[in-house]
Amino acid sequence: MDNITIAKTFSAMADMLEIVGENRFRVNAYRRAAETVEASTHDVCTRSKKQLMEIPGIGEDLSDKIIEMSKTGVCKECEQLKKKVPEGLLEVLRVESIGPKTARLLWKKFRVVSMMGLERLLSTGKLEGARGFGVKKVANFKRGLEIHERFRGRQPLGYVLPLAEKIIQALRTSKLCEEVEIAGSLRRGKETVGDIDILVTSREPQKAMDFFVVLPQIKMIEQKGETKARVILTSGIACDFRVVAPEAFGAALYYFTGSKEHNVQARTMAVKNGLTVNEYGVFKVQSRKSIKSKVKNVERVAGKTEEEVMRAIGLPWIPPELREDRGEIEAALVGKLPKLIEEKYIRGNLHMHSNWSDGEETMEAMVRASKRKGYEYVALTDHASSMGMVKGTKEHTVDRYIRMVRAVEKKVGGIHVLAGAEVDIEKDGSLYLSDKSLAKLDFVVASMHLYLKQDRATATKRLIRAMENPYVDCIGHCTSRSLGKREPMDLDMEAVMKAAKRTGTIMELNAHWVRLDLNDIHARLAKEYGVTLSISTDAHTVVESSMMRYGIVTARRAWIEKKNVINTLPWKEFQKMLY
DNA sequence: GCCGTTTTCGGCCCGACTGTTTTCAGTCG
């Protein structure tokens, strides 16, 4: 039983409780617990009841449920709920514009218990005209269904961000908007995002709105009001667009950047101080009654910038990547926010491939690309793997590889080039190259590429054995996940980090957006254990050298500072650390 | 279900847009 499974159970319970019409605050408690457990860097199963109850949002009942699940593998109440609510209905809930009320109605009145049932019902045309269901609503369901099928769930950050930046660019050059910013989970740098949020100020809101909805990237308009539009891009992802007044821009940016959980915490704090926060600003309220009665006998205290808004509610500015209600508000209140890493601190890239193995370009091209980025050093780490690869470093070609790297270093000049390898960790934790060969290399990244479905104990033991090899400097993409394609390996991450600390092994945060591995939670755990990180691109092409930004944003989400990352060190200090 | 320098009971963040209604419920973020 792991955090993810427990989080999923709580989340499913929240959905089911909502469908059966439970008190929404109880539903919320389950949702919040799901988020908290998922974000926890520690394995909640190993925690005592007392420790669990110290976690905000986990009380008497939920801590018992966590303990029950870690002991028995199931949650009785969840099983009972499953008997009440058909499981397939939970997926129906994922369809845009179908919420708990509609799902319940579809189920009780029209016997829909699955996506297939929904599809069938929509195709019969029985729904139109039924009480509460007009033509438009049904059309919305159909569209929602279509989007859901073509486009299940969230898209990777590295795929969505460039799309959003193109739109931002168009809006900025249109001269119709003054401020243009990305908000939402994209601004927070989540590894996957559900949609794009764009926020602008404009003196001509109507014109800005009209300009936006006809951008070439836009396939379909879902909503268009005075201040808000929602469209679907040709790539399938939804994009929300909001126009706000300049004096409210900061408040709106803060509000729409989220996360929802962070907002709830911040607002709750504000309410205690006699303030109310919405997307228009921070306001003083005379009494709680005045909020309830919506009588705005209010005085605006802040709104123009995020700094101003946060200051008004008693907080310093908190970087967007931290706004997940993972302790950032508490840290901010006592002045303990981390000084987050920035891309400009990176002085080298310690994982990349050339056409010696499966990269597309020459060693020289890759090194030159790094030099152009202003790096002081770079490690060429071509594969050393049995993985059906004709190319790559073999036992008998190590010397030749090193000679070639030295020649490239000399030829390019002005950048230190390490002769490295990304060596395969075999099924049993041994390495593809002999110690004698590994000893010759400047930088050894060890990664798992095969047997990725091992059970937790076996996989953890395998990885730790690799770390114990004195010639391994770094573990590459620890869980070997591939976003949207391959699940992460099942590893005991606390044991892994302990071993990394003990053996002095660097843990890579692989910056390629398909990997982002370590993820934000694992990287934060590494920091807690005092493990040194490397943030490197795993680039296979020159273009991929620019993946660094995704690694940085993920590191920031993990509260990582410059001092936690080895490749922020100047060359001389880096060298000292390595040998 | 959680939580308490207002409370162990009674609160729990707040508003836009849509669609189907004639004043509002549902959904979403």
Q: From the alpha carbon of A268, which nucleotide's C1' atom is closest?
A: B13
* Domains recognised in chain A with CATH numbers: 3-151 (1.10.150.110), 155-243 (3.30.460.10), 249-333 (3.30.210.10), 343-578 (3.20.20.140)
Reply yes or no on whether the pLDDT at A263 is more than 50.
yes
Per-residue pLDDT of A398-438, as tens digits, reads 999 999 999 999 999 999 999 999 999 999 999 999 999 99
Proximity of residue A429 CB to strand B below 7 A: no
pLDDT band at A453 (very low <50, low <70, confident <90, very high): confident
pLDDT of residue A153: 61
Q: Which of residues 216-255 of A touch strand B (CB under 7 A)?
A: 223-228, 238, 240
pLDDT band at A83 (very low <50, low <70, confident <90, very high): very high
Rounded distance in angstroms from the CA atom of residue A329 to the C1' atom of nucleotide B9: 27
Q: Residue range A362-371: average pLDDT?
A: 96
Reply yes or no on whether the pLDDT at A347 is more than 70.
yes
Rounded distance in angstroms from the CA atom of residue A92 to the C1' atom of nucleotide B1: 25
Q: What letters, b where the CB count within 10 A reaches 16 and e where it falls short, cover A265-295?
A: bbbebbeeeebbbebebbbebeeeebeeeee
Per-residue pLDDT of A380-400, as tens digits, reads 999 998 875 668 899 999 999
pLDDT band at A443 (very low <50, low <70, confident <90, very high): very high
Q: What are the contacts of A252-256 at 24+ separation with CB within 8 A?
A: A252/A183, A252/A199, A252/A279, A252/A280, A253/A181, A253/A183, A253/A199, A253/A306, A254/A306, A254/A309, A254/A310, A255/A279, A256/A183, A256/A184, A256/A197, A256/A199
Q: From the alpha carbon of A64, which nucleotide's C1' atom is closest?
A: B1
Reply yes or no on whether the pLDDT at A538 is more than 70.
yes
**CA atoms of A361 and A540, how far apart (whole Å):** 8
**CA atoms of A210 and A185, how far apart (whole Å):** 25
Rounded distance in angstroms from the CA atom of residue A224 to the C1' atom of nucleotide B20: 18
> Does residue A564 contact residue A527 with C-beta atoms inside 8 Å?
yes
Three-state secondary structure call for residue A293: coil
Query: Which among A548, A545, A541, A483 is positioned nearest to A510, based on CA atoms?
Result: A548
- Give the sign of the dihedral formed by CA A291, CA A297, CA A303, CA A309: negative
Reply yes or no on whether the pLDDT at A483 is more than 90.
no
**CA atoms of A281 and A254, how far apart (whole Å):** 10
Reply yes or no on whether the pLDDT at A288 is more than 50.
no
pLDDT of residue A283: 87
Task: Quickly tell me which residue has 């926020």 as its tokens.
Answer: A199
In percent, the amount of chain A with pLDDT more than 90 equals 61
Q: Residue range A371-382: average pLDDT?
A: 96
Reply yes or no on whether the pLDDT at A294 is more than 50.
no
pLDDT band at A298 (very low <50, low <70, confident <90, very high): low
pLDDT band at A236 (very low <50, low <70, confident <90, very high): confident
In percent, the amount of chain A with pLDDT more than 70 equals 97
Per-residue pLDDT of A495-531, as tens digits, reads 999 999 999 999 999 999 999 999 999 999 999 999 9
Q: Is A443 exposed, middle or buried (0-12, 13-18, 19+ CB in 10 A)?
A: buried
Q: From the alpha carbon of A267, which nucleotide's C1' atom is closest?
A: B13
**CA atoms of A478 and A58, how far apart (whole Å):** 30
Q: Residue range A470-487: average pLDDT?
A: 90
Eight-state DSSP code of residue A28? H
Proximity of residue A25 CB to strand B below 7 A: yes
Whole-angstrom CA distances from A334 to A112, A258, A275, A338 are 51, 21, 21, 12
Rounded distance in angstroms from the CA atom of residue A128 to the C1' atom of nucleotide B22: 21
pLDDT of residue A150: 67
Q: From the alpha carbon of A22, which nucleotide's C1' atom is closest?
A: B1
**CA atoms of A302 and A320, how far apart (whole Å):** 19
- pTM value? 0.84
A499: left (phi over 0), alpha (psi -120 to 50) or beta: alpha
Rounded distance in angstroms from the CA atom of residue A458 to the C1' atom of nucleotide B26: 49
Rounded distance in angstroms from the CA atom of residue A546 to the C1' atom of nucleotide B9: 56
pLDDT of residue A344: 97
Strand B: positions under 7 A of a protein C-beta atom? 1-3, 6, 11-21, 25-29
pLDDT of residue A38: 85
Average pLDDT along chain A: 90
pLDDT of residue A388: 57
pLDDT of residue A297: 52
Three-state secondary structure call for residue A510: strand
pLDDT of residue A286: 60
Q: Which of residues 47-76 of A touch strand B (CB under 7 A)?
A: 53, 56-63
pLDDT of residue A469: 97
- Torsion, Cα A475 A480 A483 A487, to 10 degrees, reads -140
Give the residue with greater pLDDT, A164 vs A386: A164
pLDDT band at A24 (very low <50, low <70, confident <90, very high): confident
Q: Which of residues 126-165 of A touch strand B (CB under 7 A)?
A: 131-138, 140
Q: From the alpha carbon of A29, which nucleotide's C1' atom is closest?
A: B1
